[in-house]
Structure 1
Amino acid sequence: MQERAMITVISGTEQVVIVLGTREGKSMLFMLPCILFDTGITILILPLVSLRGDLLRRVWTPHETRTAPLVFISAEAAGTKAFRAYAYKLAATSDLGRIVLDEAHFIMTASEYRAAMVDLALIRGFVYLIATLPPTLQAQFEVQNNLINPKIICALINRRNLFYIIERVTGPRRLLEKGARRAKDAWEGS
């Protein structure tokens, strides 16, 4: 699926939703186009501070005039007039290759308490990178992001090393006690 996703990203297709599991190469989808000839500038919106810490090499700031093949920006900065002017300028000069939103599920899960995530839905032409998007939430994701027939590339995201336990617990504080005991046992490897 990574190859199919890469071809789609490089082709300039707009409204692409790419669902690849953790460690399945989503970062390559925005890094590789940056080193290829004539693929334009990639703007990567990173909604999490921890992601910025991992990837940060170049930060866009208001009144930026320099160009680079990969520009990192926070979700908050992406909603500003200054950023829109920067992106429009790149698009007008055919220098903008793509705008990539990493961890795109935050548009759905963080929009209640983080206004910047709601503002991202107003930007058109994203490549949305997501580690998990259950089929039951796909339609909601499309509506919330104003997508019209997006190209969906979805790998199998089943993780064999994860499992669920459903257990009924009754009584005051029993759920908390039982959960704490299970977490401790798992941590200690029992």
Structure 2
Amino acid sequence: MASVFRDTAATSPLERWARTQAMDVDESLRQMMGPSATFRGRQKAIIKSILQRQSPIIAVMPTGAGKSLLFMLPAWMSRGGTTIVVVLLVALRADLQQRCQALGISCVEWDSRRPVDGASVVLVTPESAVSETFQTFINRKRWTKERDRIVIDECHIILQEGYEFRKEMAQLGALRMYFDTQTIQWFRGRTSRTNVTYRVMEIGASPPSRDIGERMIQWIQQRVQRLYMVYYSKAVDKKGMLASFQKQSPGVIVATSALGMGIDIPDIRLVIHVGRTRSLLDYGQESGRAGRDGDPSQAIMLIDGHGRGWGDPPEVDGRVEEYIMGSCRWRALDQYLDGTVDGYIWQQCEEGEAMCD
């Protein structure tokens, strides 16, 4: 889920805006990404609204649906301005910076100790985005008429009651005070991942927990010959870890939820959860690392014979229990994450969709 605030109070220079309006978005996409590039899902409609200066725009799309293009293409089309992107995770910032640079888009990470003027895209953490230093920066960009838009990535995390992770995210709504907000547009796509097979597997039976933990590790090691590295929030050189993971063949990484959002590696084929997640929203995000290229992939949750996992969080939402105990994993995920979209309610798996267990 991404949120875009378009600056309507102090617009970018008229000639830059006129240039983007005159450009065909399909042709611009092909010029930026190659002659065979096409839009997917709601991308084109959302980008057109961004270029028409609608504000704010809320885009709800499935994992792997190409939300990053929503700011990359407008930034590429309206060069000379600055797009600010609030990004949660270190690995995701590095990934976005690499992808922007590969497309010829000048992209830098915010650093209060050195200027970032001249960049088309500035990546900033939630903590820095609410700081006085950064507020001074975006005000300066406003008065020089260089600031095009602000994008807040992964903004869905503030919807979870009692969620304390990166609590500064909840303060980012204050950025709207810098704009004359005139319209609201929602773009709501279905988030179902039809190429991912969802499974819950029982390993062992009852406690003690040490025994079940060892059984789960043995189960994984039977399928994965070598575990290369451990990725967690305080790990040293997380960027280097992620780069090494991508270069390995096959690539294997052990990770906490620090790697659970926004990592855009297209060909991850298997995501294994040792135990239950705190919420079904977390599981949708974390299992959504699998199969982002659209090819068949698997997401497996390992539990013991009592429906618990090794190292479960202190509290587990009841919907996770429904997912585990239900007859259809897809139904539990789809009813929670989507419900009714455009008059459609998911009823059953259809031909061509990956069947759950």
Fold agreement, TM-score > 0.5? yes
CA distance in 1, matches of 2:132, 2:164: 22
Gaps of 5+ in 1: 127-146, 166-170, 183-189
CA distance in 1, matches of 2:184, 2:199: 32
Q: Does residue 156 of the first structure (1) align with residue 190 of the second (2)?
A: yes
Letter in 1 for 2:95: D
Gaps of 5+ in 2: 1-41, 98-106, 201-205, 213-274, 276-302, 311-323, 325-356
CA distance in 2, matches of 1:6, 1:27: 11
Q: Which residue number in structure 2 is paired with residue 130 of structure 1?
A: none
Q: Which residue number in structure 1 is paired with residue 147 of structure 2?
A: 96
The offset of 1:100, in angstroms, is 0.3
Write out aligned runs for 1:7-22 (5 A): 7-22=48-63
Q: Deviations over 1:129-179 (max 9, x none)?
A: xxxxxxxxxxxxxxxxxx9963101112222335587xxxxx988995234
User: CA contact under 8 A between 1:99 and 1:125: conserved in structure 2?
Assistant: no
Q: Which residue number in structure 2 is paired with residue 86 of structure 1?
A: 137
Letter in 2 for 1:100: V
User: CA contact under 8 A between 2:51 and 2:74: conserved in structure 1?
Assistant: yes
Identity of aligned residues (%): 27
Q: Which residue number in structure 1 is paired with residue 171 of structure 2?
A: 119
TM-score w.r.t. the length of structure 1 is: 0.69
The SS at the match of 2:68 is helix
The offset of 1:51, in angstroms, is 1.0
CA distance in 2, matches of 1:118, 1:111: 10
Write out aligned runs for 1:38-77 (5 A): 40-56=81-97, 57-62=107-112, 64=115, 66-77=117-128
State which of 63, 66, 74 in structure 2 corresponds to 1:33.
74
User: CA contact under 8 A between 2:110 and 2:116: conserved in structure 1?
Assistant: no
CA distance in 2, matches of 1:122, 1:111: 19
State which of 28, 42, 47 in structure 2 corresponds to 1:6.
47
Structure of higher CA gyration radius? 2
Matched pairs, number: 161
TM-score w.r.t. the length of structure 2 is: 0.39
User: CA contact under 8 A between 2:126 and 2:166: conserved in structure 1?
Assistant: no
CA distance in 2, matches of 1:13, 1:125: 16
State which of 106, 112, 116 in structure 1 corresponds to 2:157.
106
The SS at the match of 2:150 is strand
Q: Deviations over 1:6-48 (max 9, x none)?
A: 1111222211100111221111111111221357311111012
User: CA contact under 8 A between 2:54 and 2:183: conserved in structure 1?
Assistant: no
What is the aligned-residue RMSD (CA, Å)?
3.6
The offset of 1:119, in angstroms, is 2.0
